[in-house]
A and B are shown apart, each in its own frame.
Chain A
């Protein structure tokens, strides 16, 4: 309770000091799940970048000390009291925040959610880091890149997924197959399931390599799978012959990127996410953009669907050149 009170007071304090600025400054509150999380600190860095680019934006970076919806509601109420111009929130609960965010909207505050969304009634736009089709295409693109690294013009890859019943995995795999038409040099030979268990994923990866001696790439769009496959490849001494790629976190994969088992992999970039959220909030305040399209600076234009949802970009690619920079963040 005490810490919450302090958070609220601090928020108020920042708001009062910012009140001293010229009135034509746009004040955007970047409300995160909790303070002290590397991912959100990185998003704040992106928001600061947008603020520098725009010039007339004041970023208020705030959040509760633990990931609770109650903490965020208290902060939203104090933000309303301080009459900020926009709130960009990554929510701890999709429903619990809706009433207070509606109140904010009624007072003329522009509300968007990013990363972790809130119900449609609570915000104008939700910014997804990416979309299923972009993720699917990125995974195939990564396989193509790895084959290029091997110096081959065409090659084969296999997918190592989580459980065969995992919804998002199956959607991504479906999208990967759809985008194969754009990559005529790639052949998908098999899809196997490691159930997100280290031992089963390891075994499945080993079996893939044995069953397909010419296999070039294993694509694992799951964190347990990509790690287990990378370990299997380096244990079998096939680093450089079979590349592993897919979706994973820089902090978890840095070792395998340096060992060479993984050439590159992808996941959202939190800096870009914070940047885009700030740009969106600013443009809504300034009345720029339409119902279906809102510009977001260097990240292009966000296409908003009828639900108010939009996807920022393809997942960001990490390799030996930038993985260390991000591995300390998330």
Chain B
């Protein structure tokens, strides 16, 4: 069992992450202390949650570019509601962020499901629309820490067993996603719909609907992360999480989620996100020049992806020719 994990994609990747983690620790011993490790996990929690949602979308051969814009819009909305009604209950605000996020995700999902619009096109559009809507909503103004209520800022920082609520939320969602994707029919349908949509269709899986659920979950998690982002950094402005969707997709891809659908695991996805989290936190500590930082992050991503690609090269084998290949084969035969 252990041997199988070590040789699996997830196993190799976790070894790389651990090796990176400890080699930074060799330079700066404080980096691997328990407090700092929790800090890194907590700092990566938002990325992990968004990557889990993105994984569902990518599994069904789609992509969600609008997650970061969703984070910005929902974050701004809950911050403004909190500013206007400082005594409002946190439970209501979190429910609101989930619902607004789900609504924005559902818009993407409906276009993909009912109108069959390619997801990269529709989410490219909604990415700009949601960001623009954030500007219209706020009129370009910022919501700052002193305009947010104490509980609004305090909730993600509240520590239970020295892990902040933000970290616990990620842990809870990882466990939930792990169980769902492993054992529930609803979760397995994502693999079916993405691995072979035709076969899934013939076995009674509504592929479009599964894709819709993917966007719905991705949007809902983005909404929740919108609240967490704004409260963690104690500021809401239009450019919140600008470009963050690329990190989310990178986390999935590094974690072995196949960009052509059907392949990927929750554990891989989490380790992919942690990989980026460790790199992000390590680079400032070891004091690399800012120009090299970008090049290093990029190179590391490419290496990880190449490692992944070569590890599952021999998985596929052509058993039957595709219909057009077969007919061409037949027509050459008849001559």
| Interface positions of A (Cβ within 8 A of B) | 163-164, 190, 192-193, 196-200, 202-204, 206-208, 210-211, 224, 227-228, 231, 235, 251-256, 258
**Shortest CB distance A78–B (Å):** 28
Establish whether residues B284 and A256, one from each chain, have CB atoms under 8 Å apart when the complex forms. no
**Shortest CB distance B222–A (Å):** 15
A203-B281 contact in complex given A254-B146, A255-B146, C-beta closer than 8 Å: yes
**Shortest CB distance A54–B (Å):** 35
Alpha-carbon distance A196/B239, docked complex (angstroms): 9
Establish whether residues B144 and A227, one from each chain, have CB atoms under 8 Å apart when the complex forms. yes
Establish whether residues A252 and B144, one from each chain, have CB atoms under 8 Å apart when the complex forms. yes
Alpha-carbon distance A113/B229, docked complex (angstroms): 40
A257 — nearest CB in chain B belongs to which residue? B146
Q: 10 closest A-B pairs (Cβ-Cβ)?
A: A255-B146, A207-B284, A198-B233, A255-B145, A164-B290, A193-B290, A252-B144, A231-B234, A204-B284, A207-B285
Q: Which of A164, A202, A231 contacts B145 (CB 8 A)?
A: A231
**Shortest CB distance A249–B (Å):** 8
Establish whether residues B242 and A227, one from each chain, have CB atoms under 8 Å apart when the complex forms. no
Q: Does B87 contact A (CB under 8 A)?
A: no
Most B CB contacts (10 A, CB to CB) among A198, A227, A251, A256 go to: A198
Most A CB contacts (10 A, CB to CB) among B36, B235, B239 go to: B235
Establish whether residues A228 and B233, one from each chain, have CB atoms under 8 Å apart when the complex forms. yes
User: For the complex, would chain B's binding face be called helix, strand, loop or mixed by DSSP majority?
Assistant: helix
A-B contact pairs, 10 of them (CB 8 A): A197-B239, A198-B233, A199-B233, A207-B285, A210-B285, A211-B28, A211-B287, A227-B145, A255-B145, A258-B146
**Shortest CB distance B232–A (Å):** 8
Alpha-carbon distance A203/B285, docked complex (angstroms): 10
| Residue numbers in B under 8 Å from A196 (CB-CB) | 239
Can you add 4 more A-B contacts, CB < 8 Å, to A193-B290, A199-B229, A235-B157? Answer: A163-B290, A224-B235, A231-B233, A254-B146
Q: Does B186 contact A (CB under 8 A)?
A: no
Q: Which of A203, A224, A252, A253 contacts B280 (CB 8 A)?
A: A203
**Shortest CB distance A122–B (Å):** 27
Alpha-carbon distance A143/B234, docked complex (angstroms): 24
Alpha-carbon distance A328/B284, docked complex (angstroms): 36
| Residue numbers in A under 8 Å from B237 (CB-CB) | 224
| Residue numbers in A under 8 Å from B243 (CB-CB) | 197
| Interface positions of B (Cβ within 8 A of A) | 28, 30, 36, 39, 43, 142, 144-147, 157, 229, 233-235, 237, 239-244, 280-281, 284-285, 287, 290-291
Q: Which of B36, B39, B234, B287 contacts A227 (CB 8 A)?
A: B234
Alpha-carbon distance A202/B284, docked complex (angstroms): 11
| Residue numbers in B under 8 Å from A190 (CB-CB) | 287
**Shortest CB distance A166–B (Å):** 11
User: For the complex, would chain A's binding face be called helix, strand, loop or mixed by DSSP majority?
Assistant: helix
B164 — nearest CB in chain A belongs to which residue? A235
Residue pairs across A and B with CB atoms within 8 Å: the count is 71
| Residue numbers in B under 8 Å from A235 (CB-CB) | 157
| Residue numbers in A under 8 Å from B290 (CB-CB) | 163-164, 192-193
Alpha-carbon distance A254/B146, docked complex (angstroms): 7
**Shortest CB distance A193–B (Å):** 4
Alpha-carbon distance A196/B285, docked complex (angstroms): 19
Establish whether residues B144 and A251, one from each chain, have CB atoms under 8 Å apart when the complex forms. yes
Alpha-carbon distance A130/B146, docked complex (angstroms): 28
Alpha-carbon distance A211/B28, docked complex (angstroms): 9
| Residue numbers in A under 8 Å from B36 (CB-CB) | 210
| Residue numbers in A under 8 Å from B233 (CB-CB) | 198-199, 202, 227-228, 231
Alpha-carbon distance A254/B148, docked complex (angstroms): 12
| Residue numbers in B under 8 Å from A202 (CB-CB) | 233
**Shortest CB distance A145–B (Å):** 22
| Residue numbers in A under 8 Å from B43 (CB-CB) | 199, 203
Establish whether residues B145 and A256, one from each chain, have CB atoms under 8 Å apart when the complex forms. yes
Alpha-carbon distance A202/B145, docked complex (angstroms): 14
Alpha-carbon distance A235/B233, docked complex (angstroms): 10
Alpha-carbon distance A231/B145, docked complex (angstroms): 9
Alpha-carbon distance A255/B157, docked complex (angstroms): 18
| Residue numbers in A under 8 Å from B28 (CB-CB) | 210-211
**Shortest CB distance B235–A (Å):** 5
Q: Which of A198, A231, A254 contacts B240 (CB 8 A)?
A: A198
A198-B235 contact in complex given A164-B291, A204-B284, C-beta closer than 8 Å: yes
| Residue numbers in B under 8 Å from A198 (CB-CB) | 229, 233, 235, 240
| Residue numbers in B under 8 Å from A253 (CB-CB) | 144
Most A CB contacts (10 A, CB to CB) among B142, B229, B244, B291 go to: B142
A197-B242 contact in complex given A202-B233, A251-B144, A254-B146, C-beta closer than 8 Å: yes
